[in-house]
């Protein structure tokens, strides 16, 4: 193996192991101590979605890079392509639901005194997630029937051969619209609204700090203001992490989309490797950003 191949494989191995560790930790730290909350379920779902890619796609691909041999067998190509799209689609929808949830929580905290919001309903969130997995399965199952190995056992390239070009374009168009564009619009909208609410909240806090005279306020008003400020600070930290993840997602998604469109017109091993690299980097960094945002980036499991 050449030096460049060793470097590429080492980077992929780092992303793979870091992603497995981070997503496993996110799922573990999101397990409830007593009652399951919607936010916990959303984080667990995201961790499971990413672990499918980490363990069933990135790990075999990384090992194949080191041994320079596709040892998983030709039939595994279908499993690899199925797992990749299933995980990617579910992860995208999970990111959208998390963005929507924290947008609602932040708005509820600043406008309704921290009362329950629509997505505090565990049954509703479960329905959302079940729907997202159904969409993911709908787009992933066909890969079992169209994915084929290129015939060279020394390479890890798995190709997709649609019966006709029209079917391929129809599939790509529907997948792009339903599993990429629509969630992206939701993530972008929720993130923009979160930023606006954070800026408005910060402005109100600054105005209150400048115009409040403690001598003219009773103890009850002061206590209420202190409590509201504490809630805002706690939720603002989590909301900022959601915006950070959304920014990373948009950058990775745009790069991934460009490479996917390019590879649909021209077969390129480099484009395939870059696409896998971008996907691996996203699943690697995201769990740590969320763990930091909800103050669970530590070794205390319970």
Residue 94: per-residue pLDDT: 94
CA dist 255 and 263 (Å) reads 12
User: Which residues pair with residue 267 across a beta bridge?
Assistant: none
* Per-range mean pLDDT, top range of 248-252, 258-262, 263-267: 248-252
Residue 136: per-residue pLDDT: 93
For the chain, how many residues are written? 302
The 3-state DSSP class for residue 126 equals helix
Residue 199 structure tokens = 């800026």
Residue whose C-alpha is closest to residue 183's, from 108, 99, 83, 245: 99
Residue ranges of the domains in the chain? 3-210+227-293
pTM (predicted TM-score):
0.82
Give how far the C-alpha of residue 220 lies from the chain's centroid of Cα atoms, to the nearest Å: 42
DSSP string, 133-198: HHHHHHHHTTHHHHEEE-S-TTS--EEE--SSHHHHHHHHHHHHIIIIIHHHHHHHHHHHHHHHHH
- Between 198 and 43, the higher pLDDT residue: 43
CA dist 51 and 86 (Å) reads 11
| CATH class, 3-210+227-293 region | mainly alpha
Residue ranges of E strands in the chain: 147-149, 158-160
Residue 228: per-residue pLDDT: 46
Residue 96: per-residue pLDDT: 93
Buried b (16+ CB within 10 A) or exposed e, 287-298: bbbbbebbebbe
């Amino acid at each position: 193996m050449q030096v460049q191949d060793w470097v590429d494989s080492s980077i992929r191995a780092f992303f793979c192991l870091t992603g497995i560790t981070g997503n496993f930790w996110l799922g573990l730290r999101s397990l409830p101590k007593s009652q399951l909350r919607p936010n916990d379920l959303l984080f667990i779902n995201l961790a499971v979605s990413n672990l499918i890619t980490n363990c069933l796609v990135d790990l075999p691909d990384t090992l194949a890079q080191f041994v320079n041999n596709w040892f998983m067998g030709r039939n595994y190509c279908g499993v690899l392509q199925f797992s990749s799209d299933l995980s990617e689609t579910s992860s995208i929808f999970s990111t959208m639901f998390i963005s929507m949830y924290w947008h609602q929580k932040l708005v509820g905290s600043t406008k309704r005194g921290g009362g329950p919001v629509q997505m505090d309903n565990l049954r509703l969130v479960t329905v959302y997630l079940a729907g997202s997995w159904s969409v993911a399965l709908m787009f992933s199952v066909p890969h079992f029937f169209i994915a084929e190995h290129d015939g060279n056992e020394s390479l890890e390239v798995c190709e997709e051969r649609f019966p006709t070009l029209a079917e391929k374009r129809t599939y790509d168009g529907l997948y792009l619209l339903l599993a990429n564009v629509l969630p992206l619009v939701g993530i972008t909208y929720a993130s923009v609204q979160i930023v606006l609410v954070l800026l408005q909240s910060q402005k109100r806090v600054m105005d209150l700090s400048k115009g409040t005279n403690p001598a003219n306020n009773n103890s009850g008003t002061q206590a209420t203001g202190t409590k509201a400020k504490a809630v805002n600070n706690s939720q603002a930290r989590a909301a900022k992490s959601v915006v950070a993840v959304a920014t990373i997602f948009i950058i990775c998604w745009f790069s991934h989309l460009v490479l996917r469109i390019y590879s649909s017109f021209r077969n390129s091993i480099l484009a395939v490797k870059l696409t896998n690299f971008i996907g691996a980097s996203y699943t690697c960094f995201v769990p740590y950003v969320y763990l930091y945002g909800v103050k669970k980036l530590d070794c205390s499991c319970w």
